[in-house]
Chains A and B, each alone.
Chain A
Amino acid sequence: MPDQEATLPLPAASTAPREPLAQAETRQRSSVWQRLRQNRLAVGGVVVLVVFYAAAILQPWISTYPYDQLTGGMRNTPPSAEHWMGTDRSGRDVFSRLVKGGQISLAAGFMAVVIVMLIGITLGALAGFFGGWVDQLVMRFTDILLAIPLILLLITSASLFRPSLQTTIVVIGVSSWPGTARLVRGQFLALKGQEFVTAARAMGANPARIMLQHLFPNTLAIIIVQSTIWLSYAIILEASLSYLGLGVQIPTPSWGNMLQDGQRELLFGAWWLTLFPGLAIFLTVLSFNLLGDGLRDAMDPRHQRR
């Protein structure tokens, strides 16, 4: 397409007056936001997530009953005006438990992803930047961890230690970082040979400064997308572990253990005990996937929505 190329401006850096960096960044961010806003699926995901997180944060005010209050004589009652999502086999209000469980599940997912990102980014950055034996060590360890099916590793470690909310978070966080480390390493490896890094080096910046000030900001887009996708994985992993009885323990509710607690009652027609927590997991995971997909397209114009 020769016509189009002729109208392209000359390399901006040499001719255009330099604009302040902060301004350029703001503009880039707002164009990402604009592209994201046009993606209806991603916007739908954001709406669902905002509602769920708001409910989790405002849990004390939203709950219609204390989540662990036993209502005598109200066992396994179907949804009604008093109990919007019915009651469970101990006579507890399912809606209030769902909101509390959401608080636990969303917080657990968030904390696990924080651990994944801290380990993954640190090791990936060190491996990519320093290369040599550091790279070899980190990458071979990643290869080893990636050769163990994640669920198998999680179930093994979760059952060896005493199951609890904290164990679940740590186990997911510590087992799930290799993919992120590989991704960040690749990005650092590609960036460190570029001219702006050489320039920074020539001006006497030390490695820590180059990594934090120059390389890290350029990796941020990938990290944000990766975090979004991992939030959905972490929530489904927490739910799986809790469903298997290896995660959050009753009476503390989580979406996964509510499913486990209600599955026997499903046989006797109490569908509300499994439908609502399952839907909550499904909608959260779906929304994070839609948002992650939208973010990836919006941040990388080369990766057009196909």
Chain B
Amino acid sequence: MIRRVLMVVPLLVGLSLVMFLLLRLAPGDPATAMMSPQAANNPGYVEQTRKNLGLDEPVIVQYGIWLRNLATGDLGTAYSFNNKPVLSLIGERVVATVQLQGAALLLGILIAVPVGIVSATRQYSLWDNSVTVGSFIGLALPGFWLALLLQVWLGVQWGWFPIISTGQADADWAERWKFFVLPITVLALPNIAYFARFMRSSMLEVINQDYVTTARAKGLANRQVLYSHALRNALLPMVTVIGLQLPQIIGGAVIIEQIFAWPGLGLLAWDAISRRDYPVILGITMVTGAVILIVSVLVDLVYVLLDPRVSVAGSANA
């Protein structure tokens, strides 16, 4: 376990190297990308800008400087976005993303867990079959298509919800919740579908185990067997699944935030990519990478704490 925690740092350094090389090996120049076409035709000006951004140094030197700054907790300054420090740019945007994604995740779990349990206890019933078909549909609906349809029908034609999120953070909650409805619906739907399917099979697996049969044989009421014996063990694998979904959840933010102009990290990433703002792209990948790696360690840790059969030593070897 300790080895896994310690691995996070070298993995993050590796991650930064991969992203650095990807950005630097790609054709095109961020210096000319941020200028007007007239300015880009002036070689002296371009050269000066490249020098100011530190792009005239060899790639390996640039990487060394970047890494040295990182060690002091400095992710550099943005090329655009008023040359703000990358870290404070990310700080400004992270709340909006956490609010949106957190709500979608929570909603997904709150709906999926009971739905999955009921499905498992009534295997192959009408309810169960509908849930199976429904979750296949939920997983196959392209998020951006659903977002588009909801924007046009519920947003424009019926006028129930705003389709663009500009200014949502300043609104009063009496009005503000409306901004959340459409993006949360789009983001929560695949979560519900995925988690419900998983909850169902996890519950089924537990129900068929010997100790559940034993509990039933002892004459315990069905409810008690299900909710005190089976449910706790069936919930355990859900921790892993939710943790493993994290990269997809963060990735989904990029597209959905762009569609709804949601002022979060995903939209920042999108803007940074289209402006070739290397420090911001690097900064966002580092922060999300750190979160993903730390959560995967935490998931293992929680698993060890909750399930005495999994030993710490065993997980260290895995």
Residues of A within 8 A of B (CB): 41, 140-141, 143-152, 155-157, 159-162, 232, 236, 239-240, 243-244, 259, 263, 266-267, 274, 278, 281-283, 285-286, 289-290, 293, 306
Interface presence of B292 (CB below 8 A): yes
In the assembled complex, 27 residue pairs joining A and B whose CB atoms fall closer than 8 Å, in A order, are A140-B10, A141-B14, A144-B15, A147-B11, A147-B247, A147-B293, A150-B247, A152-B269, A152-B285, A152-B288, A155-B269, A155-B270, A157-B22, A157-B26, A159-B273, A160-B23, A239-B144, A267-B152, A267-B156, A278-B149, A281-B145, A282-B141, A282-B142, A285-B139, A289-B136, A289-B139, A290-B136
> Closest residue of chain B to A274, judged by CB?
B148
> Closest residue of chain B to A145, judged by CB?
B18
Determine if B136 and A41 form an interchain contact, defined as CB atoms under 8 angstroms apart: yes
Interface presence of B165 (CB below 8 A): no
Given contacts A148-B288, A289-B136, A293-B136, list 8 more A-B pairs with CB under 8 A: A41-B136, A145-B18, A148-B247, A149-B247, A149-B251, A152-B288, A267-B152, A286-B137
Query: What chain B residues lie within 8 Å of A143 (beta carbons)?
Result: 7, 11, 293
Known contacts A152-B269, A267-B156; is A285 also within 8 Å of B140 by CB?
A: yes
Determine if A240 and B18 form an interchain contact, defined as CB atoms under 8 angstroms apart: no
A1 to B94, CA, bound (A): 56
| Nearest CB on A from B16, distance (A) | 9
A285 to B284, CA, bound (A): 30
| Nearest CB on B from A279, distance (A) | 9
Determine if A282 and B273 form an interchain contact, defined as CB atoms under 8 angstroms apart: no
| Nearest CB on A from B213, distance (A) | 12
Which stretch of B63-71, B231-239, B252-260 is in the interface? Answer: B252-260
A13 to B87, CA, bound (A): 65
- Which of these, B15, B137, B148, B276, contacts A148 with CB under 8 Å? B15
Most buried by B among A160, A236, A239, A306: A306
Known contacts A140-B11, A244-B255; is A236 also within 8 Å of B142 by CB?
A: yes
Interface presence of B52 (CB below 8 A): no
Instruction: Find residues 9-30 in chain B having any chain A CB closer than 8 Å to their own CB.
Output: 10-12, 14-15, 18-19, 22-23, 26-28
| Nearest CB on B from A157, distance (A) | 6
- Which of these, A149, A243, A278, contacts B248 with CB under 8 Å? A149
| Nearest CB on B from A250, distance (A) | 17
| Nearest CB on B from A4, distance (A) | 16
- Which of these, A156, A283, A286, contacts B281 with CB under 8 Å? A156
- Which of these, B11, B26, B254, contacts A144 with CB under 8 Å? B11
A236 to B293, CA, bound (A): 26
Known contacts A160-B26, A240-B255; is A282 also within 8 Å of B18 by CB?
A: no
Determine if B136 and A259 form an interchain contact, defined as CB atoms under 8 angstroms apart: no
> Closest residue of chain B to A263, judged by CB?
B148
Known contacts A147-B289, A152-B254; is A161 also within 8 Å of B27 by CB?
A: yes
> Closest residue of chain B to A275, judged by CB?
B149
Query: What chain A residues lie within 8 Å of B273 (beta carbons)?
Result: 155-156, 159
Contact mask B135-171 → A, CB, 8 Å, 1/0? 0110111101100110010001000000000000000
- Which of these, B26, B145, B201, B251, contacts A278 with CB under 8 Å? B145
A278 to B140, CA, bound (A): 11
Known contacts A147-B292, A148-B288, A149-B251; is A160 also within 8 Å of B136 by CB?
A: no
- Ranked nearest first, the 9 interchain pairs of A and B with the lowest CB-CB distance are A151-B251, A160-B26, A149-B251, A286-B140, A278-B145, A147-B289, A285-B140, A149-B250, A144-B14
